[in-house]
Amino acid sequence: MPSRPTDMMIKCLGSFIKDGDYVFHGLNSIIPQLAMAYASLYLRKGFIWHGVTEQFMIDPKSFKVYPSSGDPNSGKNHLGIVTMVDAFDIASKGLMDLMYFGAAQIDEEANINLSVIGNYENPRVKLPGGAAVAYLYPLVKRIIIWSKHDPRVLVKKVDFITASGRKRIENNMETLLCTNKALIEFTKDGPMLRAVFEGLDVNDVISSTGGMEINLGGKVNVISSLSNDELEAIASADPDGLRYEENYG
């Protein structure tokens, strides 16, 4: 039986963590937190786990998600507090390896919108705001975005550029998007389809956007369904299944 798209997304996001990385997560980030748990517990990656709880290096085996990704009850046995202010300084010096960001809209230039749908002065929908994304997007070495594979999200041009992708692409900074169907990389030649989830048709995936043209520039891999061990690693950090309430399927 194929895995649920939510779990496939977590696997996809977690696969970008390398040994020795400094990885940071923000608020409203249950999916990235579980990707970090997956990378640690299943892929056995040894990396610096840090986030908005400010607890430095929690014990991944103790980790559980809560409705807030800033909940300090999520992890146990951390080494101490390292403030977000310090994390931002690390990023400003170009030393943060990986961060995850969500997007309400994302376009062909990897611009992210988390501010408004419609006009800033007269929004149809006031979104939560980008938090750190405008600041960190040009600074963090590797950024993996997660979003729904939905015509309202994958657009030709975002309504508002909360964070600009252009410089990232010009500077060859790794910028990838894990949707709940596929993995897309933003390149100087536009968005390229790198992988689809097992069981999905490539043409269906590239045609279900709201104007973003996803190119087929090379081999398209298949992200396989999760084994029981993989699922158990994720479920141990989310026994109540909060991840499925995030509406990624």
Partner 1 sequence: MLPDKLMNLSDAINIINNDDEITISGITFFRNPISFLTAIIKSNKKRLSFVDREPGFGLDMLVATKSLKKVRAAMATFEHFGLSPSVRKSVEKHEVEYLEDTCGAVVAGLRAGAQGIPFMPVRGILGSDLIGIHEKKGTWKVINDPFTGEEVIAVKAIEPDVAIIHLHMADRYGNAVILGPRYEDELKIKAAKRVILTAEKIVNEEDLRKRNLELLSANSYRVEAVVSSPNGAWPTGMYPYYRPQYKAIKEYYYYAKNGNALEWIETNLYKRWS
Q: What angle do CA 205, 209, 211 make, to 5 degrees?
A: 140
Question: Nearest approach, Cβ of 141 to partner 1 (angstroms)?
Answer: 13
Question: Using CB under 8 A, which of the segments 86-94, 146-154, 180-188, 233-241 binds partner 1?
Answer: 86-94
For 170, list phi and psi in degrees, rounded to 5. -60, -35
Which CB atom, from 16 or from 101, has the smaller least distance to partner 1?
101
CB of 198 to partner 1, least distance (A): 28
DSSP string computed for 92-157: HTT---EEEEE-SEE-TT--EE-SEEE-SSSEEEE----TTHHHHTTT-SEEEEE----TTTBBSS
Interatomic CA distance for residues 10 and 23, integer angstroms? 15
Interactions with partner 1, residue window 112-141 (CB under 8 A): 114-115, 120, 122-139
Collapsed DSSP state (helix, strand, coil) of residue 19: coil
Helix (H) or strand (E) holding 50, with range, is: strand 48-51
Q: Is 241 in the site for partner 1 (CB under 8 A)?
A: no
Tokens (6 digits) for 128: 């939560």
Q: Is 6 helix (H, G, I), strand (E, B) or coil?
A: helix
Instruction: Give 125 or 222: the residue with its C-beta nearer to partner 1.
Output: 125
Residue with smaller CB distance to partner 1, 52 or 214:
52
Binding of residue 72 to partner 1 (CB under 8 A)? yes
- Residue ranges in 40-69 that form contacts with partner 1 under rule CB under 8 A: 52-55, 66-69
Q: Interaction with partner 1 in 143-172: which residues (CB under 8 A)?
A: 160-167
Tokens for 163? Answer: 């964070």
- Total number of residues that touch partner 1 (CB under 8 A): 54
* C-alpha distance from residue 57 to each of 23, 44, 52, 95, 175 (Å): 10, 15, 12, 17, 25
- 24 SS3 class: strand
The letter for the amino acid at 166 is: R
Among 6-14, 22-30, 178-186, 216-224, the segment contacting partner 1 (CB under 8 A): 22-30
- Minimum CB distance to partner 1 smaller for 95 or for 222: 95
Among 59, 213, 232, 245, which residue sits at the site for partner 1 (rule: CB under 8 A)? 245
Q: Which of 20, 27, 79, 216 binds partner 1 (CB under 8 A)?
A: 27
Report the nearest approach of partner 1 to the CB of residue 203 (Å): 33
Phi then psi for residue 191, to 5 deg, are -70, 130
Interaction mask 201-230, partner 1, x per CB under 8 A: ------------------------------
- Residues near partner 1 (CB under 8 A): 27-28, 30, 52-55, 66-73, 81, 83-85, 88, 91-92, 114-115, 120, 122-139, 160-167, 242, 245-246
